[in-house]
Structure 1
Amino acid sequence: MKASTRRRLVQGVLYAVFILVVLVVVLLADWDTIGSYFFNLEVAAETFPEIVVIAARNTILYTAIAFVGGLFLGLLLALMKLSPVLPYRWFATAYIELFRGLPALLVIFGFAFAIPIAFQWRPPGGSAGAGLMALIVVAAAYIAETIRAGIEAVPKGQVEAARSLGMNPAWTMVSVVLPQAFRIITPPLTNELVILIKDTSLLFIAGMALGERELTVFARDSVTSQANATPLVVAALMYLAITLPLTQLVAKLERHNKRGR
């Protein structure tokens, strides 16, 4: 049998298996129960407008705060890791490895409960503030590595040219290296933003007041009060409405960077 014939045969079998699985799911599923429990339009209507003006708004707000805070802290950590001063490199490396290795949920729990108890400290913003601080700390570890990689990807000739013009190292970093590094790392930074949008769902562990609820907590509370899972589907659609444009932006930026290279 020719290789091309064998390849077409394998593809045909895979298509047939996929179609068979879809047919089995369609025929065995209880669509009446699924429709009434997950896609109840009356229950979905009752989540509006609060799911937009409170839950979605808070999700976007928490994401923006965590991303901006993580970006500034991550930039500082990246510069420390590239510093010729050994203690700075040690500290930045230890921080990055620690918070990249810990689950974000555990870090949020620590900031919301363990640290306040241990140090008799009340975080600004209460439980939501503690959760946001934890997200900033975790996001900074990942963003720091992304920025470091971007800085190291800038051609060394750019630095040498700037230094030959009399620029000092700090000004060379600010005016020459960082603008090019951020252009390189824009797609992965946007991916980090998308991850943060989903990570805001972990803030439930810290406890939320009614006006502080984000999409997941709002949907969970609505499911409890309505005894119906439709709010979860609505929340999922809201997440997709926020994240899909960003993922498309990432793809567009990656294509743009490839054309630029």
Structure 2
Amino acid sequence: MDAWSQLIETFFNWQAMAQVIPDLLTVGLPNTLILALTSGVIGSLLGMVLAVMGISRHAVPRWIARIYTDIFRGLPAAVIILLIGIGLGPIVRQLTGSTNPYPLGIFALSLMAAAYIGEIFRSGIQSVDKGQMEAARALGFSYGSTMRLVIIPQGIRRVLPALVNQFIALIKDSSLIFFLGLLASQREIFRVGNDAAANSGNLSPLVAAGILYLILTIPLTHLVNLIDRRLREGRREAAAPTGTADPAGTSPSGVTPGGQP
């Protein structure tokens, strides 16, 4: 068997792929989406708290947010998952009596996501023009109401592409949860493919798992580009001059170039 034939047989054995597809769709896909969506929601809530702490007027919450972000962005994802999943596992078992590592995996992904999403929110909030705050305060809004109703919504809108990118990263990072030894019914896409590859002695199931990841992430990548393009076009339209002359030569004030109204 030459090298090319061996490559095809090892990675693109269609029979081995077909055998694992049902488990990928019925077990791996739902669990991957549950892990990514749940940790994305929790991470977004924690991230918003970190963002508000990061722009606080007081030094203590700013430093807490900074230290948290530096730690969880600096450590490898696998290390965080092992520290939380295995390190906190005995404590959780003593408190709840549960040996299920699935919630700990979600917790670990959420803490990692919060560090990145918090920085995304903070940059978005700080990108809003200071005049927005001044105008809202001049209208009688309190600082908290201004942040909640004016500044934060604008900041979130500006960072939507980055948030979708972070969700794509969560879909891929969910594959690391297999370190915690999930039950057969809790396996995500990678673990399903990895188990099938180990049982068959062929790596084609892992390629099938990779294709499923591409099916999930490529449309989201194009969605990011679409959102970014829409936001940029909206900003250009908002920045366009409103006082342009009409075809008849009338200025915005209704006065013709010759000085006649």
TM-score of the superposed pair, with normalisation by structure 2: 0.85
In the other structure, the counterpart of 1:93 is 66
SS in 1 for 2:140: coil
Q: Is the 8 A contact 1:67 1:139 kept in 2?
A: yes
**Cα deviation, residue 169, structure 1:** 0.9
Distance (Å, rounded) in 1 between the aligned partners of 2:155 and 2:25: 36
In the other structure, the counterpart of 1:195 is 169
2:92 aligned with 1:147, yes or no?
no
Q: Is the 8 A contact 2:89 2:99 kept in 1?
A: no
Q: Is the 8 A contact 2:54 2:63 kept in 1?
A: yes
Decide whether aligned partners of structure 1 residues 218 and 85 sit closer, same or farther in structure 2, where only a CA change above 3 A counts.
Answer: same
Distance (Å, rounded) in 2 between the aligned partners of 1:185 and 1:258: 12
Q: Is the 8 A contact 1:100 1:138 kept in 2?
A: yes
Q: Is the 8 A contact 1:67 1:193 kept in 2?
A: yes
**Cα deviation, residue 125, structure 1:** 7.5
Select which of 179, 203, 207 maps to 1:229: 203
In the other structure, the counterpart of 1:133 is 107
Equivalent position amino acid for 2:205 in 1? P
In the other structure, the counterpart of 1:214 is 188
Equivalent position amino acid for 1:220 in 2? N
Structure with greater helix share of residues: 1
SS in 1 for 2:159: helix
Distance (Å, rounded) in 2 between the aligned partners of 1:241 and 1:118: 38
**Cα deviation, residue 52, structure 1:** 0.5
**Cα deviation, residue 110, structure 1:** 0.8
Distance (Å, rounded) in 2 between the aligned partners of 1:32 and 1:95: 50
Select which of 111, 126, 145 maps to 2:84: 111
Select which of 148, 168, 171 maps to 1:174: 148
2:45 aligned with 1:68, yes or no?
no
Distance (Å, rounded) in 2 between the aligned partners of 1:243 and 1:161: 41
TM-superposition CA deviations, 1:148-181 (whole Å, max 9, x none): 0000001111111111110111111111011110
**Cα deviation, residue 121, structure 1:** 5.0
Equivalent position amino acid for 2:54 in 1? K
Q: Is the 8 A contact 1:123 1:129 kept in 2?
A: no
In the other structure, the counterpart of 1:18 is none
**Cα deviation, residue 259, structure 1:** 1.3
2:80 aligned with 1:80, yes or no?
no
In the other structure, the counterpart of 1:38 is 11
Distance (Å, rounded) in 2 between the aligned partners of 1:218 and 1:195: 19
Equivalent position amino acid for 2:41 in 1? V
SS in 2 for 1:167: coil
Query: Hey, which bits of structure 1, 4+ residues long, moved more than 6 A?
Result: none
2:157 aligned with 1:183, yes or no?
yes
5+ residue gaps in structure 2? 236-261
Which protein shows a greater Rg? Answer: 2
In the other structure, the counterpart of 1:240 is 214
Distance (Å, rounded) in 2 between the aligned partners of 1:118 and 1:226: 37
TM-superposition CA deviations, 1:113-152 (whole Å, max 9, x none): 1233468556978212111111100110010011000000
Distance (Å, rounded) in 1 between the aligned partners of 2:120 and 2:97: 28
Q: Is the 8 A contact 1:128 1:207 kept in 2?
A: no
SS in 2 for 1:47: helix
Equivalent position amino acid for 2:71 in 1? L
5+ residue gaps in structure 1? 1-28
2:75 aligned with 1:102, yes or no?
yes
Equivalent position amino acid for 2:171 in 1? I
2:126 aligned with 1:161, yes or no?
no
**Cα deviation, residue 49, structure 1:** 1.5
**Cα deviation, residue 68, structure 1:** 0.5
Backbone CA RMSD of aligned residues: 1.7
Decide whether aligned partners of structure 1 residues 230 and 68 sit closer, same or farther in structure 2, where only a CA change above 3 A counts.
Answer: same
1:52-67 matches, within 5 Å, as 52-67=25-40
Q: Is the 8 A contact 2:50 2:118 kept in 1?
A: yes
Distance (Å, rounded) in 2 between the aligned partners of 1:178 and 1:53: 39
TM-score of the superposed pair, with normalisation by structure 1: 0.85
Q: Is the 8 A contact 2:24 2:192 kept in 1?
A: yes
